[in-house]
Amino acid sequence: MTTAGDIMHRGAQWIPAHETLDRAAQLMRELNVGALPISDENERLCGILTDRDIVVGCVALGHDPSRVTAGEMAKGTPRWIEADADIGDVLREMQTHRIRRLPVIDGKRLVGMISEADLARHLTEDQIATWAENVYARTTEG
């Protein structure tokens, strides 16, 4: 059985909710990633911050990224998967919630992230096509 822990990339790091977006962008550059899980003061997942969130949700609106925190950008219910979850559960979670990055937790500790690139390295072409169709499908709702 292939698990989330088998396909994730290790070394994921939290960005504390109180950190500013300019610091988040610096950390993304240092880690060469496009997304960071956001943690609350108890190191619990409270959201995910993407490079696009910083650009579209802050900079493009004329806000100063040195004055906006990661926590202010956290929206919705954060999703994650346990490290020992089967790959089928990973795909269902990502497809159901139409997400492209999924934090992996072991016990209450962040141990990695699963991204599109991780899926591409471990799934068949048919599995990737089905995943992409479900995650990127447009809804008919306005």
Q: What is the pLDDT of residue 140?
A: 47
Q: What is the pLDDT of residue 142?
A: 41
What are the DSSP calls for 50-79, one per residue?
A: EHHHHHHHTGGGT--TTTSBHHHH--S---
Q: What is the pLDDT of residue 25?
A: 96
On average, the pLDDT of the chain sits at 90
Q: What is the pLDDT of residue 66?
A: 97
Predicted TM-score (pTM) of the model is 0.84
| Domain residue spans of the chain | 4-136
Q: What is the pLDDT of residue 12?
A: 85
Q: What's domain 4-136's superfamily in CATH?
A: CBS-domain (3.10.580.10)
Are the CB atoms for 104 and 80 separated by under 8 Å? Answer: yes
Are the CB atoms for 17 and 38 separated by under 8 Å? Answer: yes
Q: What is the pLDDT of residue 138?
A: 60
List of the chain residues with pLDDT < 70: 138-142
